């Protein structure tokens, strides 16, 4: 059973990620203007997508928590948030490296970059607030509200290049082999980060069960998400 | 090429760090679970012996 639920998806994701890396470094052609550095875009777009997806997943599972009040939804929301934050951090790092080569600056207050930084700060705020609340029920409730509110930044990030005039590229012309590499990369990294979120969600559920077992043996009965 | 390597290195280091942290959390949880189950079994045993 462990083979089907854990090892099989992990092996599939490892194989897909390997294929994506081979395509990025060996199959995709070298871009004329930027050279090999352009290949960072395949990673940057994939992690940016996962960062946005993480925020949406976090908000939707938080909504489900508020409706159903099942701890599992809160665990899912937190796990999606953690992975989303990791991806948004990587988006800012890889974007900054690309910007240094393309625009000769590490950072500029360009609309999409600013919206992405706000998303990163929103994630950080979500975890800061969660860690400051001791009561598990209240922590889950406040966290859920924050997660839902944080979804408002997702359309800002996506539409920033259309709503405001900026420097960030919007759907640049690409060779078909580049498009395929980008697509495989996005699918592979989405699989990798989804798997990490699922593993983390299971771990948070186990943590809840361990805590309730500890409290039972100490004669304390409390609700734990 | 250096920038490209730096980008991928940063990404894989972050992923490896997160996976390592998950592994550490799992290890700690397993130890806590074992201890809690041990206490549970001991408590149940002492209740049974008192009842007998």
Chain A contact for B12, CB < 8 A?
no
Asked if A20 contacts A185 with a C-beta cutoff of 8 angstroms, the reply is yes
Chain A contact for B5, CB < 8 A?
no
Q: How far is CA A56 from CA A32, A78, A83, B16, B50, in A?
A: 36, 12, 12, 24, 55
Residue B18 to residue A86, Cβ atoms within 8 A: yes
Q: What are the backbone dihedrals phi and psi of residue A199, each rounded to the nearest 5 degrees, phi first? A: -60, -45
CB-based contacts of B48, cutoff 8 Å, min separation 6: none
Residue B4 to residue A100, Cβ atoms within 8 A: no
Tokens of B8: 């991928």
The residue-averaged pLDDT of B4-22 equals: 91
Q: What is the DSSP letter of B49?
A: H
Query: Would you say residue A96 lies in a domain?
Result: yes
Asked if A41 contacts A99 with a C-beta cutoff of 8 angstroms, the reply is no
Write the secondary structure of chain A as one string of H (helix), E (strand) and C (coil): CHHHHHHHHHHHHHHHHHHHHHHHHHHCCCECCCEHHHHHHHHHHHHHHHHHHHHHHHHHHHHHHHHHCCHHHHHHHHHHHHHHHHHHHHHHHHHHHHHHHHCCCCCCCCHHHHHHHHHHHHHHHHHHHHHHCCCHHHHHHHHHHHHHHHCCHHHHHHHHHHHCCCCCCCCCCCCHHHHHHHHHHHHHHHHHHHHHHHHHHHHHHHHHHHHHHHHHHCCCCCCCC
Residue A210 to residue B8, Cβ atoms within 8 A: no
Tens digit of each residue's pLDDT (9 = 90 or more) over A60-110: 999 999 999 999 999 999 999 999 999 999 999 999 999 998 888 999 998
Query: Would you say residue A201 lies in a domain?
Result: yes
Residue B15 to residue A213, Cβ atoms within 8 A: no
Query: Would you say residue A97 lies in a domain?
Result: yes
Q: Which of B11, B26, B32 sits opposite A203 (nearest CB)?
A: B26
ipTM: 0.83
Query: Would you say residue A210 lies in a domain?
Result: yes
Q: How far is B26 from chain A (nearest CA, A)?
A: 7
Residue B10 to residue A192, Cβ atoms within 8 A: no
The residue-averaged pLDDT of A30-55 equals: 91
pLDDT band at B38 (very low <50, low <70, confident <90, very high): confident
- What does the pLDDT read at residue A56? 96
Tens digit of each residue's pLDDT (9 = 90 or more) over A160-209: 888 887 788 877 778 888 999 999 999 999 999 999 999 999 999 999 88
Query: Would you say residue A180 lies in a domain?
Result: yes
Q: How far is B1 from chain A (nearest CA, A)?
A: 6
Numbered residues of chain A with Cβ closer than 8 Å to any chain B Cβ: 36-37, 39-40, 43-44, 47, 82-83, 86, 89-90, 93-94, 97-98, 100-101, 192, 196, 199-200, 203, 206-207, 209-210, 213-214, 216-217
Q: How far is A3 from chain B (nearest CA, A)?
A: 18
Range of the domain at A192: 35-169+176-216
Query: Would you say residue A134 lies in a domain?
Result: yes
Query: Would you say residue A108 lies in a domain?
Result: yes
Q: Select the more confidently predicted residue: A128 or B45.
A: A128
Query: Would you say residue A198 lies in a domain?
Result: yes
Q: Which of B7, B8, B29 sits opposite A210 (nearest CB)?
A: B29
Domains of chain A: total: 1
Q: How far is A65 from chain B (nearest CA, A)?
A: 24
Name every chain B residue with its beta carbon within 8 A of the beta carbon of A93. 7, 10-11
């Amino acid at each position: 059973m462990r083979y089907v639920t854990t090892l099989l998806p992990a092996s599939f994701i490892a194989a897909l990620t390997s294929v994506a890396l081979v395509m990025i470094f060996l199959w995709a052609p070298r871009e004329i203007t930027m050279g090999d550095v352009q290949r960072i875009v395949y990673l940057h777009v994939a992690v940016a997508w996962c960062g946005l997806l993480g925020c949406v997943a976090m908000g939707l599972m938080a909504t489900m928590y508020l409706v159903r009040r099942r701890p599992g939804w809160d665990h899912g929301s937190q796990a999606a948030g953690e992975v989303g934050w990791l991806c948004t951090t990587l988006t800012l790092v890889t974007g900054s490296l690309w910007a240094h080569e393309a625009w000769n600056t590490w950072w500029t207050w360009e609309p999409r970059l600013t919206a992405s930084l706000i998303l990163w700060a929103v994630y950080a705020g979500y975890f800061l607030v969660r860690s400051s609340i001791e009561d598990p029920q209240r922590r889950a409730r406040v966290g859920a509200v924050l997660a839902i509110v944080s979804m408002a930044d997702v359309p800002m990030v996506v539409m920033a290049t259309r709503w405001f005039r900026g420097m960030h590229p919007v759907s640049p012309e690409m060779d078909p082999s580049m498009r395929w590499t980008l697509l495989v990369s996005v699918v592979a990294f989405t699989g990798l980060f989804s798997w990490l979120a699922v593993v983390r969600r299971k771990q948070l559920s186990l943590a809840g069960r361990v805590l309730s077992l500890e409290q039972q043996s100490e004669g304390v009965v409390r609700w734990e998400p | 090429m250096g920038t490209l390597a730096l980008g991928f290195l940063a990404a894989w280091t972050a992923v490896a760090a997160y996976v390592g942290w998950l592994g550490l959390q799992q290890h700690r949880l397993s130890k806590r679970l074992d201890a809690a189950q041990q206490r549970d079994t001991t408590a149940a045993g002492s209740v049974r012996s008192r009842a007998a």
